[in-house]
Structure 1
Amino acid sequence: MTNFVEPAVHLLAWTRFDAAKAFNLTGWTVDDDTDPTGGQALAEFAGRSCFQSWKKPRPETSTNAGYLANILRQNHESVVEHATATFYVTGVSRSLLTELTRHRHLSLSVVSQRYVDESDARMVRPPAADSNALIGGLLDDVDSAANIAYVGIVTRLTEQGMNRKQAREAARAVLPNMTETRFVVTGNLRAWRDVLRRRWHVAADAEIRRFAGLILAELRELAPNVFQDFPAEPFGTGE
């Protein structure tokens, strides 16, 4: 099954915060234990701006971690909308993409099957097939048959005078849901929290749950205080 590919998420962009300007405007200083120029600091600044509470009088909310923990407990997640994270995602299926588009607050730029030649497209093996040779063999057969049909349709239609875009547009009809797609996706941190609440769950589709785990790992490195309440393993029940 050499044509199968593993998923990957690559951080491309992340909100930057001007801590020096914030200090000049308000006298507020960023907690030294957090990224002073990142989205976590911006989320705290936004929250404190609502009440002009720059002095940090309460020890339990004097750090960025404590302040954001209190915000999350109260479900005041609007302040984390100010920060965004952008990823380039590879090795996921068109099926996963269909699921992800249900999260309306994400912005997606997806590879076009009309313009891009899919004759050498890679496939994404569903997690249920990871340790099942029989299912893997059947998926190989589907991949091979789809490739033959795709190339045949493109070849025949271009011979008949269609341009490549028109031919590929028609031929993509035979590509299976497991065909790899690649995309750039941006979400504010509240939108990513919504994705994780719904997809980092034992009842979620297995592939998108695996994707959610990769995203969570990246976001924990980037903004651990914003995602401090998510467990290391998928939560919930299977129902």
Structure 2
Amino acid sequence: MLKVTLLASTPDATAVVATAAHRCVSLDDAEHYLLDTDPLKQAAVVRRAVGMGHTSVLEHASFTFDISGVSRSLSHQLVRFRIASFSQLSQRYVTGPFGYVTPPSIENDNGFHELYIDLMERIEQVYQTGIDKGIPAEDARFVLPNATETALIATVNARELHHWFNLRCCTHAQWEIRDMANKILDLVKKREPVLFEIAGPSCVGGTCPEGARGCGLIPK
């Protein structure tokens, strides 16, 4: 089962981002601004910078997540986001137990679900036979499917998270990575509400990149 935990984040992230924005327009001492400026003023500075499109200041805030109970299919999609750091469970050093993720569409089709379970069990048998026969784990893993369960640590800055949410919170995103993105969005909104108050799918900002394929939330 998908689980996302926010392990760590930049302390006083909103203040740090506001200080970065302030530095762009002022010669005042940055440390003094960080420590002594009222939080409401800092929030206003962040909103103004982001509203003007100066989102680079968001890169000064980072967040580290533990993500587990997801498929290798999801992790293949996730690593396409290049401005992030990932540490993933190794199939070379960890050889069991074999877990897998079942898509809801398969789970809801009784006949196909049975075939799916049979296939997963057969794959597990073949994989374990290879391990027992001394086949190196990095070779035995060649039989494992995209459904194989994995876990990873991801560290991402706030600007890139906004990009994640634009693409992966959309109803057109693949279901598993959309569920993950929404869980991450909930976590960071609670931790740093100012930095993520307008975060979400692209339509939150009033535009839909899907065009005719849009879900209908934004009028054509």
Q: Could you state the TM-score of these two structures normalised by the residue count of structure 1?
A: 0.76
Specify the alignment match of 2:75 in structure 1. 97
Within a 5 Å distance, the mapping from 1:227-238 to structure 2 comes to: 227-231=196-200, 236=208, 238=213
Contact 2:162/2:200 (CA < 8 Å) preserved in 1?
no
- Give the fraction of aligned pairs with identical amino acids, expressed as a percent: 31
Contact 1:43/1:80 (CA < 8 Å) preserved in 2?
yes
Within a 5 Å distance, the mapping from 1:1-239 to structure 2 comes to: 6-16=1-11, 38-52=12-26, 63-118=41-96, 120-156=97-133, 158=134, 167-231=136-200, 236=208, 238=213
Inter-partner Cα distance in structure 2 for 1:87 and 1:62: 28
Inter-partner Cα distance in structure 1 for 2:75 and 2:119: 20
The CA deviation at 1:63 is 3.4
After superposition, the Cα gap between the structure-2 partners of 1:53 and 1:130, relative to the gap in structure 1 and judged at 3 Å, is farther
Contact 1:200/1:234 (CA < 8 Å) preserved in 2?
no
Contact 1:69/1:228 (CA < 8 Å) preserved in 2?
no
Inter-partner Cα distance in structure 1 for 2:59 and 2:85: 14
Paired amino acid for 1:48: H
The CA deviation at 1:205 is 1.4
RMSD (Å) for aligned C-alpha atoms = 2.4
Which segment drifts farther, 62-71 or 185-194? 62-71
The CA deviation at 1:121 is 1.8
**Helix, strand or coil for the counterpart of 2:24?**
helix
Contact 1:80/1:190 (CA < 8 Å) preserved in 2?
yes
The CA deviation at 1:62 is 5.3
Inter-partner Cα distance in structure 2 for 1:233 and 1:83: 21
After superposition, the Cα gap between the structure-2 partners of 1:232 and 1:195, relative to the gap in structure 1 and judged at 3 Å, is closer
**Helix, strand or coil for the counterpart of 2:93?**
coil
Contact 1:108/1:183 (CA < 8 Å) preserved in 2?
yes
Contact 1:64/1:225 (CA < 8 Å) preserved in 2?
no
After superposition, the Cα gap between the structure-2 partners of 1:171 and 1:110, relative to the gap in structure 1 and judged at 3 Å, is same
Contact 1:202/1:234 (CA < 8 Å) preserved in 2?
no
The CA deviation at 1:66 is 3.1
Contact 1:122/1:180 (CA < 8 Å) preserved in 2?
yes
Inter-partner Cα distance in structure 2 for 1:194 and 1:233: 9
| Count of paired positions | 199
The CA deviation at 1:142 is 2.0
5+ long unaligned stretches in structure 1: 1-5, 17-37, 56-60
Inter-partner Cα distance in structure 2 for 1:131 and 1:72: 43
The CA deviation at 1:234 is 8.1
How far does the alpha carbon of each residue in 1:147-202 deviate from its partner, in whole angstroms, 9 at most, with x for none?
0110111122x1xxx6xxxx211110111101111111101111111111111112
The CA deviation at 1:65 is 3.5
